[in-house]
Structure 1
Amino acid sequence: MRGAAMSLSAAASGFVVFLLSVSVVPGQDVWGVTYTSTEICALKGSTVDISCTYGYPSRINDHDTEVEKEIWFTKMNGNEFVDLRTDSEYSGRVEYSCHYKNCTLRITDLRESDSAEYKFRFITNLSTGKYTGSPGVTLSVTDLQVQVSRLLVYESYNWVDLKCHSSCRLPDHLHYVWYKNGQKIWRRTSSFSVYVYPTDSYSCAVEGYEKFPSPPVYAPRVPSVSVSPSGEIVEGSSVNLTCSSDANPTSSYTWYKENGNPDLQPLSKEPQLVFRSIQSSDSGEYYCTAENKLGKKTSNYISINVKYGPKPPSVSVSPSGEIVEGSSVNLTCSSDANPAANYTWYKKNQTLFQGTEGIHHFTSISSEDRGIYHCKSENQYGQIMSSPLSVDVQYAPRVPSVSVSPSGEIVEGSSVTLTCSSDANPAANYTWYKEDEDSPKASGQNFTITYVRPEHSGNYYCEAQNRRGCHNSTLHLTVVAGAGGKLAAAGTITVVLLAIISLSVFLWIRKKRASKEPSDPEERADNREQLRIGQPEEQEDLQYASVHFSTKQADPLYSNIRAGRPLRHMEQQEVIEYAAVSFNRASTAPRTRGQETREDPAALYSTVNRT
C-alpha cells in the first residue's frame, strides 16, 4: 500500500535538498515504479538525487524477464523518450546509479531551468515488457532571495528590513548567514533591520551551505541612457530613449526633460521614452532616474537635436511706419530651421539677395523700389516661401506735365481745358494759378474755361503738392479773336490809318508851301491871299504806296492798304511813297500777380507756348 506523505530534509555534502513527500510501495513482483519523493525543492547551484524502485514479474510465459534499458527523461521527441544523458541541456551534469530494481538520478549544479517533472522508464527483453512510472517527480529549483521592505527614507541612506526568502517552504529550524559587501556579519535569523547606504550590498545563505548564497541586493548604480536610432534625428521619425541601471531589486525608471523648472513633471515611468513622431519642440536635454527600495540614482543628460526643414518665414520692414524716398530701409526674413536656413529675397521673379542673414538693405530707397517682395527660406530638409511683403515708398511730386485741350489755335468764345498730372506718392493735390494774380484759379487736375476771351491770355501754372513736397509747371495761353472781332479791329485800324495819312499829307503840303513863299512879308501876304481867292493852277498827285501793320503773328486781313486814286494834280507832280508803317503791339512779358491786366486792342492772333 501507499504510505502517507511527510516532510523532511535530507542533507549531504554539496546537497541542499528538501523532500516534500515520500511514497512507499511494498512488493516487487508486479509491474510498477515507485518514487522516493514526488516533490523536491532544491536551491540553485546545489546537487539533487531523484530515486525510485521498480518491479516486474520475474517469469512470463515460461520466459525469464530481464531488464535491458533504464532511462530518466523529462520530454519526448516525437514517439521517442529523450534520455537525460543525451540531452544537451544536462550535458556533464547528469549520472545514473541503478542496481537491483533501484535507480537514482543525480543532477549537479542545479539551474532554475532544471525545474521540471522527471520520470523513470525501464525496458525488458519481452516485447510487451516496457513500463514508465507516471506521474513522476516534480523538481523545483529555487534561489534564495533577500526581500527588502523600506521603512524610512533619508537623504543619504534608507532604513530597511531585510529577509532571506525562498519560493520553497524552508524548515523553521534553519539558521542563516548574512553578508555585507561580501563580508560575513553575525546574523542567524532569517530577517533583520539595517541602515543601507547607496554603496552597500547584502546577501544571505543557509548555515552549512554558504557556498550557495543568495544574489546580493543593492541600490541602483548610475543609470546609462541611449538613443535609438543613433545618428541624425529628423523631424517626424520614431525615436526611443532607453534608461538602464544595475540594481537588485530591479529599478523603476522615470524620464524627465530639463527645462529649468524646479517642479519637473515626469514624461514617462518606463525604461523607454518613446517618440512615435518626434517634433522640433522635442529638442532638448533629457535624463532619467533609477530607484529601488535601497536607493535612487540619476543619469547623465542626453541631448536630442531634431533636424527639420524651415518653418514659414516671418518678414518685416524697418523702420516701421511710412517709408520716405532716400531713407535707409531693411527687409528682414527669419525662419525657424535646423540646421539654420539660407534666405533669398525676390521682387516679382527677380532675385535680389541670397545669404544666411536674411536682411536686404536699401541704403537710399527710391520710388522704383516700391512693390511686392517675397523671401524663400531653405535648408537640406526643405524650403518654403514667405507671405508677400508690400513696400510703399512715399515721395514728393515730380515736375508736373501740363497740356491744353483742344490743342492748336484757341479762338475767342470757345471752351478750353488745362490739364496737369504728376507722379507722386501719396497722390498729389493740384492748384491752378495765373501769373500776376494772387488767388488760385482752380483746384484739381483739370481747369476749364467755358468761354474764352482775350483777357484770358497769359501764363498759367499748375502746382502739384503732397505732404512730401511740391513742384509746378507753367503753360502759356494765347486767345485769337473771332471773325466779328477781326472786322471791328480792321475797321478801327482803317480809321486810325486814314487819320495818320491825312495828318501826314497836311504836314507835307504845309512844308511845301512854306518853301515857295517870298522872303518879304508882302510877298507872303500876297501868296496867302492868292491861295484864299482861287485854286492853284496845277494839283499835286500824291500816292501812298504801302502801309503795313505788323503784329507778332502775320494777319492776312488788311496786310496792305493802297490809295485808289490821286488826290489832286499839281503843276509840278511829285510822287512820295511811305514804304512801311509798322504798329507793334505791347510786349507779352509775364506779369506778376496783382498788376492790372490791360488789353491790347491790336491783338489778332495768339499762340500757346508749353513749358
Structure 2
Amino acid sequence: MWLPCLLFLLFLHVGSIMNAVPDSSVIQTPANVTVEEGSTLNMQCRFNGDSTKWSIKWYKVKGNEQVELLNSSLIHIFTHLKDKLSNFTLKSVDLKDDGTYLCNVVIDAAFQPLNKGTKVTIIGITDFEVNQTSGPIHEVEGADVTIECRFRTVGRNSSMYVSWDKDGLAVEQANKTGSYRITQNLRAGFASLTLTNATVSDSGLYVCNVGREPRNQTKSSGIASHVVITKRDKQPETDSGSPGAGIGAGIGAGAGGAAGILLLLLLLSVLAWRYKKRAKESTTETEAAATKEAGTHLPLTSRQKELTYASLRFNKKEVEPDAGVIYAEVRTKPKQRAGNSQI
C-alpha cells in the first residue's frame, strides 16, 4: 500500500519542478583543465534562468561523496548575483587536488539543473630550479657570512624541505664546532645559511639541497658556494715610553676612520691657534717696549741765552756709559751793529 503512495508523491514533486523552472540551466567552464603543480586553478559557473531565488555552492567529488569547498587562505569563491555567475580559484595546487569539481546551483530551494562539472588534472614538478650564491666568498675571521638559496615552490610546500651540505657532509655534522643559522620560507622559495663569527675552520664548499619526502626527490644547483675564511691581521704594537707615543698611537689608530681624521684636524687647529696667539703677543710686547723706550729719551737740544747745549745720551743695553749726559758748549757769533761793519 505504501509503494503506490510514494510513487504518487514523487510524480507530483517532479512535475512541480519541471513546471516551475523549465528553461533553467547551468554552464560550468572549463569542462577539462590541466595545471602544473604549484600553479593556480580557475573555474567559472554561470546560471541561466528567470528565477530570482537561486544559490551556488562548490563541491569536490570524492567517489560517491561531494565535499563542499569554502573560502580559505587557498580557496577564493566570488559570486556575482547580478550576472548570475560564480568564480572559483584554488591557489598553489597540489597533486592531491586532482579530481572533479562541481558547481551546484539550487533554484527556488528545490530545482538543481544537471551539471557535469570540471575534470582537473595536476602535473607533478620534478625540477625545483635551485640557485644559490656563487663564489668564491672571501671574508676574515669574526665576520658573518650568508649564503642564499632560491628555488621553485611545489604545491602546498608541506612536503618540501631544504638541507645544507659542507664538503659532502651535512652541515650539522661538518660544523660541529662552528656557529651557524638557517632560515627558510618554503612558500616564497627562499632559504639561507649564515656562518656567524666565522673561523678558518668554516672554509669549504657549501651546497643547498631542495627535496620532497613523499617522492624522495632532491635537487641542488650543481654549483657549490666556495667560502674562504682567512685570519685577521694583527695590529702593530706602539712604544708608549717614547716621546709623543700617546698622541701618535691615538692618531694612528683612528687614521682609517672619520674619528681619526677629526682628531687630526682638531690638533692642527689648536697648534695654529697657539702659533697665532704667540705671534700676536710677541708683536704687542715689541711695540710696548719701543713706546717705553721712546718716552725715556730726553730732548736732543736745549737753548739757554746765547749758549746752545746738545744733549747726547748713549743708551745701550750691553754697556752703560760713565756719564749719562754729555754737554758740549757751542758759542754763537755776536751780531754786528749797523755802520760798524768790518771789512
Q: What TM-score comes out, normalization by structure 1 length? A: 0.19
Select the structure that is richer in helix.
2
Given the two structures, how large is their TM-score scaled by the length of structure 2?
0.31
| Relative contact order, higher structure (CA 8 A, sep 6+) | 2
Greater Rg over alpha carbons, structure? 1
